[in-house]
Amino acid sequence: MSFLGVDASLTGRRWLGPDVETARACEFLEQQSGLPAAVCQVLARRGVAPQEAEGFLAPSLQALLPDPRSLKDMEIAAARLLQALKRRERIAVFADYDVDGGASAALLLVWLRDMGHGATLYVPDRIDEGYGPNDEAMAALARDHDLIVCVDCGTLSHGPIAAAAGADVVVLDHHLGGETLPDALAVVNPNRQDEDGALAHLCAAAVVFLMLVEAGRQLREAGSRGPDLMSLLDFVALATVADVAPLIGVNRAFVRQGLKVMAWRERPGLAALADVARMDTAPAAYHLGFLLGPRINAGGRIGKADLGARLLASDDPHEAAALAERLDQLNTERREVETAVRAAALDQAESRGFDTPLVWAAGPGWHPGVVGIVASRLKEACNRPSIVIGVENGIGKGSGRSVSGIDLGAPIQRLAAEGLLIKGGGHKMAAGLTVAEDKIEAAMARLGELLARQGAHLIGAADLRVEGLLMPGAATVELAEMVEQAGPFGAGAAAPRYVFPDVQIRHAKRVGENHLKVGFSDGLGASLDAIMFGAFDGPLGPALQNNGGARFHLAGRLDINSWRGRRSVQLRLEDAARA
């Protein structure tokens, strides 16, 4: 049954509220805990019992941190790193070119620097070398190094790791493993097939952090001490959010604690990046995912692949400022490239239909550095797993993004095993692939079949899930802060969405190119402001601006707006329906 009887909002979506069981759990939570209903609605949806509420709202890393030794090969990996330090061996860090890879590399580089040891950073070029280790690069690194640590890659790199003759290789990764592992000294990966999956939600930087925790334990057992690991949690938080890792379990604590560390502005690279991104408030998960992450990614997408990792690891404010400025410029160029590819991909995908298990598009000359972002836009437009492929010289390089509850990485890996892909891999929410141009249609058809078995075609593309009702007078800064305590929000933990029922639009003004600023009231003296970005890209902007005095139900998320030292609540508007 639709919420407030909204079967088709102004954007054509059906509104769905909590089910009966969740509503009852919310009432019980409210009675037992004394917390506001708006907070209890979030906790009930997450399955939090009354006795767990206090701990959930203040997640402790100490309480949630898993034992690093619960992961296979962990003790071996940490011991080998410490051995390299003791012997003053030459160490190379081979990292993926995205935020998770860059943050993972920076974690290791900064930790090693604090231990008085340098390391070589190697990040492959996205276009010339592709994802992960390759034979030539690994063989070259092995000639000049004793230990190679692969971060955010390497689990499927049997050939390249074999090519690293003469050097030990340690893999710290989180991508889905195959039936066999490469011949590395250690492969630490919660998504190995022989792991139990309890830590499958960790990103690569979290795996690296756990390895450093284990290294610290081994140092203490030997009567020594390592660097302060808590000060490195800004890297883990950034990677967790940017890599769309589900914000559950220890990931919540990683992000919450990491944001506190980031607010100290003691990391030159992140401080410089926040400045070029014009961040003027304390960092939140939103900033990591939408302001900092895209800029760090820009180097790997359309610039020099190692720029992001170098920025994050930098301890020189002048170098950091120059790198941040360059990444900001590259991000602007990336947006221009993305806009063109996105328009073409949306047109192509829409012509195939948005109601299929898989939505996909492929085109000649589409820059491989933006196909992942465009796949995200497709996914958002249709609420379906999406793949976007750029084709060059008969070879397609693609990237995919999935939706909650649908595993994309495993089917991609299966297609590679079946010979429909040249290679492919990833994790549940994101994956990459390389495919011959003449096999694209067959590969996408087969992938659609595998996703249909998971029910991808049954997901309601037009559903908008809401927590419940909220009145303008109840939307205070204090309430918004309490709701935020139930976060951080993101992948696997959607931010709560509330409906303000039967309100009157007091004013609606277009701001910027296509955004909308709205003021509304409940007719009882309470009012609230709302903002909707990109409102005039769809029907909401014109409908609310030219409202003709009609009353509306407004749906969105609470947001704290800071302006000249004054903090106020506003609604981040997402949808509306006529009351």
Output the pLDDT for position 462: 65
Are 121 and 306 within 8 A, CB to CB? Answer: yes
| Correct CATH for 353-458 of 3.10.310.30, 3.20.20.450, 3.40.50.300, 1.10.760.10 | 3.10.310.30
Taking the mean position of all CA atoms in its chain, how far away is CA 144? 35
460 pLDDT higher than 70: no
Structural domain boundaries of the chain? 3-17+466-578, 20-57, 64-329, 353-458
Domain covering 3-17+466-578, topology? OB fold (Dihydrolipoamide Acetyltransferase, E2P) (2.40.50)
283 pLDDT higher than 90: yes
461 pLDDT higher than 60: no
Q: Compute the distance between CA of residue 471 and CA of residue 477 in angstroms, rounded to an integer.
A: 14
Residues in the chain: 579
354 pLDDT higher than 90: no
- Structure tokens, 147: 């230990």
Place of tokens 């069981």: 21
Output the pLDDT for position 538: 85
Output the pLDDT for position 561: 85
What b-and-e string marks burial along 350-367, b requiring 16 or more CB atoms within 10 Å of the CB?
Answer: eeeebebbbbbbbeeebb
Name the percent of the chain lying above pLDDT 70.
99
Task: Show Cβ contacts of residue 320 under 8 Å, excluding neighbours closer than 6 positions.
Answer: 268, 269, 271, 272, 311, 314
Looking at the whole model, is its pTM more than 0.75? yes
471-496: average pLDDT: 92
Output the pLDDT for position 215: 98
Output the pLDDT for position 492: 83
Residue 268 exposed, middle or buried by CB count within 10 Å (0-12, 13-18, 19+): buried
- Angle CA 158–159–162, to nearest 5: 85
Name the percent of the chain lying above pLDDT 90.
87
Place of tokens 């029907």: 539
Q: How confident is the model at residue 244 (pLDDT cuts 50, 70, 90)?
A: confident
473 pLDDT higher than 90: yes
Integer CA distances (angstroms), 172 to 136, 152, 211, 549, in order: 20, 6, 8, 59
Q: Cβ–Cβ contacts within 10 Å for residue 286, how many?
A: 16
Residue 93, strand partner residues: 121, 149
Q: How confident is the model at residue 303 (pLDDT cuts 50, 70, 90)?
A: confident
Integer CA distances (angstroms), 464 to 12, 291, 343, in order: 10, 25, 24
Q: Compute the distance between CA of residue 405 and CA of residue 195 in angstroms, rounded to an integer.
A: 20
Question: Which has the closest alpha carbon to 78: 111, 100, 106?
Answer: 111
Note the pLDDT tens digit of each residue in 526-578.
999 999 988 998 899 999 999 999 999 999 999 988 777 788 999 999 999 99
Q: Compute the distance between CA of residue 443 and CA of residue 366 in angstroms, rounded to an integer.
A: 19
Output the pLDDT for position 344: 95
Note the pLDDT tens digit of each residue in 74-111.
999 999 999 999 999 999 999 999 999 999 999 999 99
The identity of residue 147, as a single letter, is: L
The identity of residue 460, as a single letter, is: G
Note the pLDDT tens digit of each residue in 485-515.
999 998 888 899 999 999 999 999 999 888 9
Q: How confident is the model at residue 60 (pLDDT cuts 50, 70, 90)?
A: very high
Q: How confident is the model at residue 280 (pLDDT cuts 50, 70, 90)?
A: confident
Q: Compute the distance between CA of residue 208 and CA of residue 189 in angstroms, rounded to an integer.
A: 10
Helix axes 204-221, 250-263, angle to 10 degrees: 80
The C-alpha torsion from 347 through 351 and 354 to 360, rounded to 10°, is -70
| Correct CATH for 64-329 of 2.60.40.3880, 3.90.550.10, 3.30.1490.20, 3.90.1640.30 | 3.90.1640.30
CA-based max dimension of the chain: 77
391-408: average pLDDT: 93
Q: Is the dihedral of CA 373, 375, 376, 381 positive or negative?
A: positive
